[in-house]
Amino acid sequence: MADAPAEIDKRSIRLQVAAARQEESGHGIARLPKAALSRLGAMEGDVLEITGKDVTVARAMLAYPEDEGLDVIRLDGLQRGNAEVGSGEHVQVRKAESRPAQRVVFAPAQQSMRLQGPAVALKRNFLGRPMIAGDLVATTGRHQVGDIPPNLSRMFNTPAYALTQIRLNVVTTTPKGIVHIDENTEVELREMFEEAQNTRGDINYDDVGGMSDTIRQLREMVELPLRYPELFTRLGVDPPRGVLLHGPPGTGKTRLAQAVANESDANFMLINGPEIMGSGYGESEKRLREVFEEAEKAAPSIIFIDEIDSIAPKRTQVHGETEKRLVAQLLTLMDGLNSRVNVVVIAATNRPDAIDEALRRPGRFDREIVIGVPDEKGRREILGIHTRGMPLGNGVDLGELARTTHGFVGADIAALAREAAIETVRRIMPELDLEARTIPADVLEKLAVERDDFIAALKRVQP
């Protein structure tokens, strides 16, 4: 949990949370209407303390024009996770003061990540950013965002720290409470992952591009029942228990399910279809039962079954008894989920017609969502996500890349961004001392992924 908030004062106001635009994700700002700023006695650039189930902080910026007159605050996915709130929920907001940090300790937010790099480059990336121990924060690159007041422009034009966005846990700060990094702050970056006090996963709706309609449908089908099961009890109807996502490989079905679980504050349990098949008699069914039992104990939970066609094929077309028993077991477990058990099952496949028909009947996977290949707008969103924190050269036009990547899905675009970064590394190799543990800060500062790097990457990455 973050450092405890101060008593809610008379100038605290209650606002409804809405999602920030994806291009502003990770910059540490919160947008709210002029009237709300006035009630808080705050101006653009002031620090705000935002209290949901937990506490986080942000710098204030004026609302988008469409939000003027509404009691809303726009927060990105990291901020929603830090405050432990979802879109549509309410937070208390007050003007706060931040003190210059004497020392801030960061650690990687992902278990699979080890980091080495100059602390001075990390400090430059976070200059002026308010934070509090327990926050999950992200490095950013230079980014063009409209209507930036002069006192905030530095936060959007800091040199990138790496060739991709890196998410970090704020482990400790000195002094405690709300601080900001300045030129005199000592910054320590620990190499290894450290468990965050905020246990929400780091994937949120900001990390899923080109799926605004799909996210809206899933929020209605999954997030709403998990957050407010009493609504369905009052209406006397059972909430959806199963949702089937189907579409080509690489379109982001697993990532989407993880984002829904994190935004719903639900436990996420993954079943990889091919991996659950056991060698012993009854072993596969036992594994399946154990996951459902664990999900019920840890509710609210989302069980995600990837490649469901591999464990639930049409029984009329298989000859093995194991597959038939597994389908029967899954049907029994789905039927055993009732309105008192706050568990939703999401399954994914790229072969919907291969699934046993009984699973697609009411009360089981009776809601289906098709996730197709993204259009140009969707590809532009996905490119924005995968180039967050990337030091892009002035010649890079993400709109142009979106137009030239027809047929690419999310996984292809992620691979394209990685390959472009590798091209950049190839170019600077002569300047690197391969025996040194870290790259000099001046080399990092000059680093930029150029248009030619993406053009070269396009020759290697095909949909």
Which has the closest alpha carbon to 334: 344, 320, 325? 344
Whether 389 and 405 map to the same domain: the answer is yes
Whether 383 and 431 map to the same domain: the answer is yes
Map residue 424 onto helix, strand or coil: helix
Report the number of distinct structural domains present in the chain.
4
- Would you give the distance in Å from CA 355 to the centre of its chain? 30
pLDDT in tens, 287-330: 999 999 999 999 999 999 999 999 999 988 877 788 888 999 99
Whether 229 and 170 map to the same domain: the answer is no
pLDDT score for 178: 96
pLDDT in tens, 365-387: 988 999 999 999 999 999 999 99
Domain with residue 127: its CATH number is: 3.10.330.10
**Residue 463 scores a pLDDT above 60:** yes
Whether 215 and 177 map to the same domain: the answer is no
* Mean pLDDT within 218-237: 85
pLDDT score for 74: 98
Q: Please give the residue range of the domain that contains residue 132.
A: 100-189
CA distance 260 to 264: 6
pLDDT score for 397: 95
Give the CA distances from residue 463 to residues 40, 209, 248, 369, 420, in Å, rounded to whole numbers and listed in that order: 50, 17, 11, 22, 16
Q: Which residues contact 157 (CB under 8 A, 6 or more apart)?
A: 142, 143
Whether 175 and 287 map to the same domain: the answer is no
* Mean pLDDT within 104-110: 89
Tokens of 95: 């003007």
Higher pLDDT, 146 or 463: 463
pLDDT band at 55 (very low <50, low <70, confident <90, very high): very high
* Mean pLDDT within 185-199: 77
What percent of the chain is modeled with pLDDT above 70? 87
pLDDT score for 2: 57
Host H or E run for residue 103: strand 103-108
Q: Is residue 454 part of a domain?
A: yes
* Mean pLDDT within 143-168: 61
CA distance 207 to 260: 11
Phi, psi dihedral angles at 162 (to 5 degrees): -150, -175
Domain with residue 309: its CATH number is: 3.40.50.300
Peptide bond into 175 cis (omega under 30): yes
Q: Are 47 and 57 in contact (CB under 8 A)?
A: yes
Which residue among 44, 64, 97 closes a domain? 97
pLDDT band at 140 (very low <50, low <70, confident <90, very high): confident
Give the CA distances from residue 308 to residues 123, 232, 277, 351, in Å, rounded to whole numbers and listed in that order: 45, 28, 12, 9
As a dihedral over the C-alpha atoms of residue 38, residue 44, residue 49, residue 53, rounded to 10 degrees, the angle is 90
CA distance 416 to 405: 10
Whether 366 and 335 map to the same domain: the answer is yes
Whether 179 and 107 map to the same domain: the answer is yes
Tokens of 170: 């704020």
**Residue 128 scores a pLDDT above 60:** yes
Q: Is residue 148 part of a domain?
A: yes
Q: Is residue 67 part of a domain?
A: yes
Tokens of 65: 């024009």
Whether 380 and 355 map to the same domain: the answer is no
Q: Is residue 389 part of a domain?
A: yes
Q: Is residue 5 part of a domain?
A: no
Give the CA distances from residue 168 to residues 208, 267, 364, 387, in Å, rounded to whole numbers and listed in that order: 19, 21, 39, 17
Q: Is residue 4 part of a domain?
A: no
- Listed range (18-22, 319-323, 346-350) with the worst mean pLDDT: 319-323
Pairing of strands 186-189, 103-108: parallel
- Listed range (115-124, 250-259, 292-301, 346-355) with the worst mean pLDDT: 115-124
| Orientation angle between helical segments 283-297 and 321-336, nearest 10 degrees | 20
Peptide bond into 239 cis (omega under 30): no
- Listed range (66-80, 141-155, 170-184, 272-286) with the worst mean pLDDT: 141-155
pLDDT band at 8 (very low <50, low <70, confident <90, very high): very low
CA distance 106 to 122: 10
Q: Is residue 92 part of a domain?
A: yes
* Mean pLDDT within 444-458: 89
CA distance 60 to 139: 19
pLDDT band at 391 (very low <50, low <70, confident <90, very high): confident
pLDDT score for 227: 84
Whether 278 and 312 map to the same domain: the answer is yes
CA distance 304 to 244: 10
Phi, psi dihedral angles at 292 (to 5 degrees): -65, -40
CA distance 233 to 386: 41
CA distance 141 to 125: 8
Strands, sheet with 179-180, edge to edge from the N-terminal-most edge strand? 99-100, 179-180, 130-131
